[in-house]
């Protein structure tokens, strides 16, 4: 059995299955409602039921008072629909709708993705979840008020663990610490989410995505979000790296291309090595994009990667008709700070 839910302030509608939390159903349909703990303790997901009835299988959650419940307030991370519903709740439409928070986290596990790329999986405390938009980043908080930024590679709907792809920066003390000293179960602190590099879902335009190196991370988050929510705008992803061994997780975009008819994937190597046996595209990644799309005037373009790649692409894409209002980018700063020190 399922019920219809209508969000009064936006007129968006979705269905919720019997026994499913209203928040979970909304997220499943690509509607982002505010949340934090998803455990009934923080109150972030509170809204109002203006028509219909909800109930709580485990009793009224701690962050909902009797008085609030009496006037129709509800915690949608816990509320189950007993009838069709009309609700009032603020939808998250932009990065400004999510307040960055400082949170501790534990390194749940780590794996090596390439000779200079390591993946970290972070767990936030039991009753805390980080809400973010696909493409945003967090800052690790280090000693001496220093910070190091890393994009979230997991999509928002899969938020039990936070996934980061960390590239080792030569002489970078913090990334050196991650590669040489950091152990599973270590505790770190971060603040986030930050950034305006996130997927604009209200545009009808086809999408070009360009990632350089670990610029793949935020693009992975966006793509997994898009696939999960059935966004079927054409998406062509170009991944620019130096050599074949830099294409970490290479089977992932290949699999997406097999599974999603509207998705295309083109890896581009700038300096293939003799042993690479590479028959694919070579050169600068932005030049490969222009070869395939000489007129960019009808596209939304997302790109993330090192500053030289971003700068070269911005200039070239403007010449090829890209409207700057449809260009979204995240310039990774790999600057080395010898004073970096892990907290």
Binding residues for ligand FES, per CB under 6 A? Answer: 35-38, 40-45, 63, 75, 77
In the complex, least distance from residue 24 CB atom to ligand FES, rounded to whole angstroms? 11
DSSP secondary structure code for residue 21 in this structure: B
* Longest pairwise C-alpha distance within the chain: 72
In the complex, least distance from residue 222 CB atom to ligand FES, rounded to whole angstroms? 23
Nearer to ligand FES, 116 or 159 (CB): 159
Give CA–CA dist 207/298, Å, rounded. Answer: 9
| In contact, 267 and 219? CB cutoff 8 Å | no
Nearer to ligand FES, 37 or 182 (CB): 37
In the complex, least distance from residue 298 CB atom to ligand FES, rounded to whole angstroms? 39
Q: Nearest Cα to 210, choosing from 321, 323, 133, 287?
A: 287
Nearer to ligand FES, 23 or 210 (CB): 23
In the complex, least distance from residue 31 CB atom to ligand FES, rounded to whole angstroms? 15
Give CA–CA dist 227/206, Å, rounded. Answer: 15
In the complex, least distance from residue 62 CB atom to ligand FES, rounded to whole angstroms? 8
In the complex, least distance from residue 44 CB atom to ligand FES, rounded to whole angstroms? 5
Q: Is 19 exposed, middle or buried (0-12, 13-18, 19+ CB in 10 A)?
A: exposed
Q: What is the enclosing helix (H) or strand (E) of 118?
A: strand 117-123
For ligand FES, which residue has the nearest CB?
A: 77
What is the C-alpha radius of gyration for the chain, rounded to an integer number of angstroms? Answer: 22
Nearer to ligand FES, 123 or 320 (CB): 123
Q: What angle do CA 238, 251, 210 make, to 5 degrees?
A: 15
Give CA–CA dist 97/91, Å, rounded. Answer: 8
In the complex, least distance from residue 132 CB atom to ligand FES, rounded to whole angstroms? 14
In the complex, least distance from residue 68 CB atom to ligand FES, rounded to whole angstroms? 12
Give CA–CA dist 51/35, Å, rounded. Answer: 22
The two tokens of residue 323 are: 């409207």
* Cα of 254 vs its chain's centroid, Å: 20
Nearer to ligand FES, 46 or 166 (CB): 46
Nearer to ligand FES, 128 or 323 (CB): 128
Nearer to ligand FES, 75 or 138 (CB): 75
Q: Nearest Cα to 209, choosing from 295, 328, 121?
A: 328
Q: What is the enclosing helix (H) or strand (E) of 11?
A: none
Nearer to ligand FES, 31 or 296 (CB): 31
Residue with tokens 């997927």: 199
């Amino acid at each position: 059995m399922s019920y219809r839910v209508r969000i009064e302030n936006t007129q968006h509608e979705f269905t919720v299955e019997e026994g499913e939390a209203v928040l979970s159903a909304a997220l499943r349909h690509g509607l982002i409602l505010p949340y934090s703990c998803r455990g009934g303790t923080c109150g972030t997901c509170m809204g109002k039921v203006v028509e219909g009835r909800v109930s709580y299988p485990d009793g009224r959650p701690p962050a909902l008072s009797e008085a609030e419940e009496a006037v129709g307030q509800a915690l949608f991370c816990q509320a189950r629909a007993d009838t069709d519903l009309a609700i009032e709740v603020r939808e998250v439409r932009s990065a400004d709708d999510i307040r960055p928070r400082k949170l501790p986290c534990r390194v749940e596990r780590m794996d090596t993705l390439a000779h200079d790329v390591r993946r970290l999986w972070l767990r936030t405390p039991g009753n805390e979840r980080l809400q973010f938009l696909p493409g945003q980043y967090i800052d690790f908080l280090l000693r001496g008020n220093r910070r190091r930024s890393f994009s979230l590679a997991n999509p928002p709907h899969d938020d039990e663990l936070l996934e980061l792809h960390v590239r080792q920066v030569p002489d970078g003390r913090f990334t050196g610490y991650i590669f040489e000293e950091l152990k599973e179960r270590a505790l770190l602190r971060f603040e986030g989410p930050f950034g305006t590099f996130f997927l604009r879902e209200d545009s009808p335009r086809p999408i070009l995505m360009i990632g350089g190196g670990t610029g793949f991370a935020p693009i992975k988050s966006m793509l997994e979000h898009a696939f999960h929510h059935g966004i079927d705008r054409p998406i062509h992803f170009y991944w620019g790296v130096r050599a074949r061994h830099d294409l970490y997780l290479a089977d992932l975009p290949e699999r997406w291309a097999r599974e999603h008819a509207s998705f295309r994937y083109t890896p581009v190597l700038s300096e293939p090595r003799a042993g690479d046996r590479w028959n694919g595209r070579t050169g600068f990644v932005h030049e490969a994009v222009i070869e395939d799309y000489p007129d960019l005037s009808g596209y939304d373009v997302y790109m993330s990667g090192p500053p030289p790649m971003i700068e070269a692409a911005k200039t070239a894409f403007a010449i090829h008709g890209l409207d700057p209002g449809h260009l979204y980018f995240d310039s990774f700063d790999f600057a080395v700070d010898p004073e970096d020190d892990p907290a």
